[in-house]
A and B are shown apart, each in its own frame.
Chain A
Amino acid sequence: MVGKNCFAIASDRRLGVQLQTIATDFQRVFKIHDKLYIGLSGLGTDAQTLYQRLVFRHKLYQLREERDMKPETFASLVSAILYEKRFGPYFCQPVIAGLGEDNKPFICTMDCIGAKELAKDFVVSGTASESLYGACESMYKPNMEPEELFETVSQALMSSVDRDCLSGWGGYVLIV
């Protein structure tokens, strides 16, 4: 979710196989660099592998170009990597959030084969995504300060996740 010169990215902590909960501390939001984070919902193994591949690409980029990747550039890269596997995809829906030039917040989401969707307010993905759309739509206000953004994101996450039996077991909210 986008705020005033800041963004929030959040996830739940459950890792499960249908009805069985395997872990309650699963990390789904990963750092690419100080001002760029990616959240990967969907299949656990694909989320981890995709994250490792993206960090690899970003590190090479940093070494070659001697600068961090811009969020828009990173989103294009993720989209290209996902589409490479068009006929045997990664079962992940990424949510990308970062601060671009002049600390302008950037968010986007994609489907599992790389169809990018930019948004100005919020993006969601996962099993509780429909519920999250509703909660965010009603709670979102433009230009929120970091403290208010934190409250809003936490409330939206908790209320949607409570309504979904496959999500839950804690939450993780990061404000940048």
Chain B
Amino acid sequence: MGDSQYSFSLTTFSPSGKLVQIEHALTAVGSGQTSLGIKAANGVVIATEKKLPSILVDETSVQKIQALTPNIGVVYSGMGPDFRVLVRKSRKQAQQYFRLYKEHIPVTQLVRETAAVMQEFTQSGGVRPFGVSLLIAGYDDNGPQLYQVDPSGSYFSWKASAMGKNVSNAKTFLEKRYTEDMELDDAIHTAILTLKEGYEGQISSNNIEIGIIRPDREFKVLSPSEIKDFLEEVE
């Protein structure tokens, strides 16, 4: 393939007009654990599988869903360490905004700035793109919002989306189940069902993680007992 001659350097276009490193980064994302997000009429839910490499791992120490500000949360598919770096940078940007304007950063602005960081790493020398796609969920004056940010730095607003392994099945499932006027609790059930579709093994409250944001604008990660209640409602 002619493209492979151009895959060594990030900052060189291939003759077909692609940046091959970004394609590889997207492949890294595509082999990561499934994550998804759904925007309901009165909130947003994001969820992910939390498959740990062994039963000896302490699952409470692994946090795949993080809050960026009190009203914005994020989940990822791909490389965990890259995610941690992005979370750190985004949190700093959100706080810088607050320091300047004494107002919480709107979701679109934070998404734009995070995407700009990811784009910087596709146009500098000696660095590689981030191997994560992010799903950023937030609630501000413009209502509930869900954005996906890719390693290239492009971002899209979604009503419902999935990333990682099994993404096409998950998206088809979501397309069938999504309705415009869904309530948040329905969205949580749908999210659990979608995860269940592609899950190898038995789903339980310890191997998935769910984050929600309601009209009270407080992002919270559900505890295993809360997840258990929702799981029981689904079955």
Query: Which residue numbers of A lie inside 8 Å of B, CB to CB?
Result: 64-65, 70, 72-73, 76-77, 80
Contact = CB atoms under 8 A, between A and B. Distances in A.
14 contacts: A64-B109, A64-B112, A65-B106, A65-B108, A70-B103, A72-B102, A73-B101, A73-B102, A73-B103, A76-B100, A76-B102, A77-B100, A77-B101, A80-B99
A76 B101 CA distance: 5
A76 B103 CA distance: 9
B157 to A, nearest CB: 14
The 6 closest A-B pairs by CB, nearest first: A76-B102, A73-B101, A73-B103, A80-B100, A76-B101, A77-B101
Interface of B: 99-103, 106, 108-109, 112
Contacts of B100: 76-77, 80
Contacts of A64: 109, 112
A29 B141 CA distance: 31
Contacts of B99: 80
A56 to B, nearest CB: 14
B108 to A, nearest CB: 8
Contacts of A77: 100-101
Contacts of B108: 65
A66 to B, nearest CB: 9
B99 to A, nearest CB: 7
A80 B103 CA distance: 13
Contacts of A80: 99-100
Contacts of B102: 72-73, 76
A72 B98 CA distance: 13
Contact of B109 (A65, A70, A73, A76): A65
A84 to B, nearest CB: 10
B111 to A, nearest CB: 12
Contacts of B106: 65
Nearest to A79: B102
B89 to A, nearest CB: 19
A85 B234 CA distance: 59
A70 B104 CA distance: 13
B184 to A, nearest CB: 26
Contacts of A70: 103
A157 to B, nearest CB: 31
Contacts of A76: 100-103
Given A64-B109, A65-B106, A76-B103, 15 more contacts: A64-B112, A65-B108, A65-B109, A70-B103, A72-B102, A72-B103, A73-B101, A73-B103, A76-B100, A76-B101, A76-B102, A77-B100, A77-B101, A80-B99, A80-B100
